[in-house]
Amino acid sequence: MSSLQIDAVLSQIRAMQSQIKGVGGGVGAPSNDVAKVAGVESAVQSPTNSFANVMKQGLDSVNQTQARASDLATKFEQGVPGVELPQVMLEMQKASVSFRAVTEVRNRFVSAYQEIMNMPI
């Protein structure tokens, strides 16, 4: 695996982290410039990009990543020329990281929901 591929994966992970921090806000929230690049600002300002739409887009993206990784792994297993093991492993790791990110968002959402439900009226 080349260092360019590793750098690309790291930059994607950092972009996901900045999106998650941007949605949560607070002390560690990214600056407005980072939020604009990550697409968070449009999700916050536009009523058409509700939480449900943003979550659906995230799930669709994870699904596409997992499908692409699965397809690439199948091609590698079948011996299709041009498909190499490092390429397959990189796609599998991308799918794993994106799934873990969505799972963490879901866990935080459930935690916030439970906290709200436990508040006294």
pLDDT, one tens digit per residue, over 91-113 is: 999 999 999 999 998 899 999 99
CA distance 5 to 10: 9
pTM: 0.56
pLDDT at 35: 43
Give the model's pLDDT for residue 30: 43
- 106, 98 contact by CB (below 8 A): no
Confidence of residue 2 (pLDDT cuts 50, 70, 90): low
Closest CA to 61 of 113, 107, 12, 18: 12
User: Does residue 25 register a pLDDT over 90?
Assistant: no
What is the reported pLDDT for 54?
83
The pLDDT value given to residue 104 = 92
Q: What is the DSSP string of 100-114?
A: HHHHHHHHHHHHHHH
